[in-house]
Amino acid sequence: MRDNTPPHHHDFDDGDDEILEEIELNGDPPLDDDDELEMEEVTLAELEARLGMLEHDDEPDEEEIRDQERIAAIKDEATVTFSTHTAPVFACSLHPKHSWAVTGSEDDRALVWDTNTGEVLFKITDHKDTVTEAHFSHDGTYLATGDMSGELLVFKVSEQQDERPIMTKVWEYAMFDMAWMFWHRGANVLIAGSDSGEVYVWRIPSGDCKILAGQASRCESGALTGDGKKLLTVYLNGAVKLWDLKTCQVLMEVNEQHPLGFGEITHAVVACDRESPLYLCAEGNGKMLFCTNNGPVNSIQSEHGIECVAFAPASSDLKLLACASLEGQISIWDYAKYSLRTSCEVPVPNDGVLCLKWLNDNTILVGTSQGNLHAFDARSGALKFKLTGHHYHLYDFVYKPEESLLLTVSEDTTAKIFKVPPLGD
């Protein structure tokens, strides 16, 4: 018997020789069969009321009413809405060649689907936890998915688009709880950071692995440098490291003893300039640390907290950096001068920013806690356009400039395809 197996009930012998004692309750004689019991008819609602079980909050409160009115007023501007997931959707990617999207959800599935029709093309059901990462490789040869528990899967994409199945699993790995994961920009190399601090670097499909030693602290964020040869990482103990991906050696480190260091932090993000060896680490309370290969060069304190950051594209004539907060503040910085250039105002009250990316040299797009998409001119801070359709948190988006196509994922359990208006210069 297993330890957690409940004991069996004893068998009772109802033999004829068993003596049963009749017990009279309250001294009252037993009722004759002909006696009638008076039974009061009670409805279920009356019974619940008597027992104090009737809920009195059936009516929505004022906040719920306002939220219902907000949702009812939303105009869905998406060209396609994908509603097959049954829980919030966190991850998304677009195939570079085919009209395919992949999305990962709290329903423990990653789904590949047609961006024109919403038809499901391939289901990944091997995960046992929330799928927080799903990415096609740079050339579309592979698809990688990862869940919060650290289960990573890689699928080879069929060479012919009309082949079925369109993908075949070629590699899997179980690491410690995963913090983040992405593909290298120019090679079939998969990189992932863990809750325990180690960073794994795999060559796919062989699975050859390098491990960048941890800090006994969660590796909160990682980013490739512009040359693709180094990796910038930040840890919740405040450490910042620049790694050589070939030798696995630390090229630059900022620890808590450094006068410009962070100390313990609760959230941090990193970004790398694509054109020069300039690296940024920003922590949740608004401190931004700028580094080069030789170490820190400056730090700036933003007037607002920081949830996400991004450098302008390498093709941009201006040296701009965008950062945004959960309170909805967006700042554009001239990092050549370490000075604030302008601010962008989210037009909806209490609409915090959850994700931010550059669409072209001068346009940033943010996704918000109320499901909105706002695009701004980074030179002036002016609002360029707004896209609506989601009801709640917009967790991530990816842009395909060749087709002006935007894929978004949300807390409302849907993914959507939008056509982005002309961006101008």
Q: For the chain, how many structural domains are there in total? A: 2
The last residue of a domain, from among 180, 213, 246: 213
pLDDT tens per residue, range 331-389 = 999 999 999 999 999 999 999 999 999 999 999 999 999 999 999 999 999 999 999 99
Pairwise CA distance, residues 399 & 328, whole Å: 22
Degrees, nearest 5: CA angle 179-226-244: 65
Confidence bin at 56 (pLDDT 50/70/90): low
Residue 76 pLDDT exceeds 60: yes
Residues 205 and 319 in one domain: no
Please identify, among 192, 213, 234, the residue that sits at the C-terminal boundary of a domain.
Answer: 213
Give the closest residue to 420 by CA, choosing from 355, 379, 365, 348: 365
Contact 101, 110 (CB under 8 A): no
* DSSP-derived 3-state class of residue 44: helix
Q: Is 81 part of a structural domain of the chain?
A: yes
| pLDDT tens per residue, range 230-242 | 999 999 999 999 9
User: Nearest CA to 308 among 346, 357, 376, 343?
Assistant: 357
- Is position 232 within any domain? no
Tokens of 31: 């009722």
Instruction: Please give the residue range of the domain that contains residue 344.
Output: 302-415
Q: Please give the angle made by the CA atoms of 83, 89 and 95, to the nearest 5 degrees.
A: 85
Phi and psi (nearest 5°) for 293? -60, -20
Rounded to whole angstroms, the Cα distance separating 176 from 198 reads 9
Instruction: Specify whether the CB–CB gap between 142 and 135 falls below 8 A.
Output: no
Do the domain assignments include residue 269?
Answer: no
pLDDT at 152 over 90: yes
The answer to whether residue 246 sits within a structural domain is no
Coil vs helix vs strand at 62: helix
Q: Could you tell me the pTM of the whole model?
A: 0.85
Domain final residue, candidates 188, 213, 238: 213
